[in-house]
Amino acid sequence: MKSIRRKLSIMFFVCSLAAILLITAFVNLTITKKFDDYMVDTQNKRYERIVSYFQEIYKREGKWSKDSGIEMMHEAYMGSYCLTLLDSSEKTIWGMDANDIKNNLHFNTMKVKDTGVYTSKRFPIEVDNKKVGYVDIGQYSSVLLSEEDVNFKSSINKSIIASGLITMIITIVISLYFSKQFSRPIKEVSKMSVSLSKGNFDTKSVTKSDIKELENLRTSVNVLAGKLKQQDMLRKRLVSDISHEIRTPLNILQNNLEAMIDGIFPVTDDRLKDLNDEVIRFGKLLNNLELLKQFESESIKANFETVDINQILKSICEDFYMEAKNQGVDIDYSVQKNQQYYITGDKDKLRQVFINIISNSIKFSKESGNICINMYPKDQKIAIQIKDNGIGIKEEDLPFIFERLYRGDKSRNEIHGNGIGLTIVKNILDLHLADIEVESKEEKGTKFTIYFDRVIV
């Protein structure tokens, strides 16, 4: 298997190479064609010049002689073409030998494009609209080039090839750079996912990318790693917390029962009641765990009906009134009058939501605390606020309080709890499509606000 960097580099390189070759070939063909056109044009002008030269000679001398225009022979010889002068009846007056040019080609300043077949062209010499003779111009090539022409052409070709090569080198460097830009974050994220799959959740990708999708991928894998780490921590805490939660009531029960059996403790009603309370607490924990399991396996069943949430809250507040009073905590329930507070929900589960939140408020209240429960309609919703002035929640704990078995600051261990209450609250509210918000300040208090969809009856 090839690495992404190698694959991308090869892809970039092949694409650029194809583009460079195409452009080079195209430029080369165009320049060659234009150059050849230019040379043919120059050659035609030379032909015209030679013909008009002989016209001038004839005009000056009035007839042809063996020496007429013979001085052109030298230029023709140097230019690698062959001249033959003929009179009006096409009889040769003088002429050059084609073989002389062939033998002396390499001494001449003119180069032939292709030393092939000798061809000659005949041009009439006209004076006063009368044909007075002909001149044959012959050469071993279709187009004659001067040394500068050849040099010019080859230097252009060299420049095209050189620029092609330089572009290719630049392309290789750029493709290596860009493929690295792509591959580096991908490589890092892939390394990270391998270590996540091995259970090492402490990894983090730090190489930022300016490519949107790659940056999204990087940040979401980082978030994933954070969540997995959190879940792993919760899982580890789950085992220790549950074993602690189960061991404590069991130890109390065992020690007390043994002491009673051994006759160390007398069997009194009070003692039996205390032991029964422990058994109830124990049973509650198991019920909560069972409920949580049902939510997590999505096998929970809800009995939805139209319920008066005001009635539910009022009865819960009454139930809690005495317990709160014993702890020196006041519960104050107020509701905006002349309004209906109907929602669609499961009565028992809704009771569970408020019991969990209010019992937390009592639990985390300081002595002579105050709990304000307030209900009011808000647009199409019903808002319920449960506010205490207790010990509050640390800012860093706030995002996690609804997580399974999450308990605030370890130092609160002396306050009884198991970190399941709010998880159940969140699950039940999700089932009711209701929202919950929490605001809290350490040592100042906590406020939960719940929003239900309102039903008008």
Residue 309 CB, nearest approach to ligand ADP (Å): 20
Q: Based on CB atoms, which residue is closest to ligand ADP, 24 or 446?
A: 446
Q: Based on CB atoms, which residue is closest to ligand ADP, 153 or 412?
A: 412
Residue 201 CB, nearest approach to ligand ADP (Å): 22
CA distance 343 to 378: 13
N-term to C-term CA, the chain: 67
Q: Based on CB atoms, which residue is closest to ligand ADP, 442 or 453?
A: 442
Binding site for ligand ADP (CB under 6 A): 356, 360-361, 364, 388, 390-393, 401, 406-408, 412, 417-423, 446
List Cα–Cα distances, 180 to 13, 190, 435, in angstroms.
14, 15, 45
Q: Based on CB atoms, which residue is closest to ligand ADP, 186 or 420?
A: 420
Residue 438 CB, nearest approach to ligand ADP (Å): 8
Helices 147-197, 212-261: crossing angle, 10 deg rounding = 10
CA distance 1 to 431: 48
Could you tell me the two tokens for 373?
A: 């429960």
Buried b (16+ CB within 10 A) or exposed e, 232-245: eebeebbeebbeeb
Could you tell me the two tokens for 208?
A: 């930022």
For ligand ADP, the nearest residue by Cβ is 408
Could you tell me the two tokens for 451?
A: 């929003």
Residue 180 CB, nearest approach to ligand ADP (Å): 47
Residue 247 CB, nearest approach to ligand ADP (Å): 17
DSSP annotation of 420: -
Q: Based on CB atoms, which residue is closest to ligand ADP, 183 or 288?
A: 288
Q: Based on CB atoms, which residue is closest to ligand ADP, 448 or 451?
A: 448
Residue 319 CB, nearest approach to ligand ADP (Å): 18
Residue 386 CB, nearest approach to ligand ADP (Å): 8
User: In whole angstroms, what separates CA 262 from the centre of its chain?
Assistant: 72
CA distance 174 to 161: 20
CA distance 308 to 455: 10
Q: Based on CB atoms, which residue is closest to ligand ADP, 46 or 237?
A: 237
**Which has the closest alpha carbon to 353: 399, 302, 306, 411?**
302
The length of the chain in residues reads 457
Residue 401 CB, nearest approach to ligand ADP (Å): 4
Q: Based on CB atoms, which residue is closest to ligand ADP, 179 or 361?
A: 361
What is the radius of gyration, based on Cα positions, of the chain? 51
